[in-house]
Amino acid sequence: MIARTPDELDTLFAKALNAGDLDALMSLYEPDASLMPSPGNVVVGKVAIRAALAGFISAKPRMTLNARTLSQTGDLALVTAEWQLSMTDQEGKAVAMTGQSVEVLRRQGDGRWLFAIDFPFGVAGTPA
């Protein structure tokens, strides 16, 4: 799974998440990337990101999204996506979530785009 455009990275993320493919998800992040797995909680690095995403995969999520590039300069892009996620919590109860992400992507030397900063909850998820 290789994103050749910034918008494509979010689409690949949703595809891998829906398939429960943790390795494919991890291939979309830079080694020192950051992720906000829940509002106000930021993790850094692939080990921490893997642990956070493994938790989501265990809930068997289904994600749909609409991504767009807000700005791009050279090898950096600012992307947003409106997303919807449904999953089952630990008690077996259906949970639905929505959000508007903010992401910084970086084009790698081989041309693929990776997440450098992934904030799925966007500005709404950061403390004031």
24-78, pLDDT tens digit by residue?
999 999 999 999 998 889 999 999 999 999 988 988 899 999 999 999 999 999 9
pLDDT in tens, 69-109: 999 999 999 999 999 999 887 788 888 989 999 999 999 99
The class of domain 6-119 in CATH terms is alpha beta
Q: What is the pTM of this model?
A: 0.91
**128 confidence band (pLDDT: 50, 70, 90):** low
Strands 29-38 and 102-107: unpaired
Beta bridge partners of residue 76, listed in sequence order: 73, 106
**Chain Cα centroid distance, residue 3:** 13
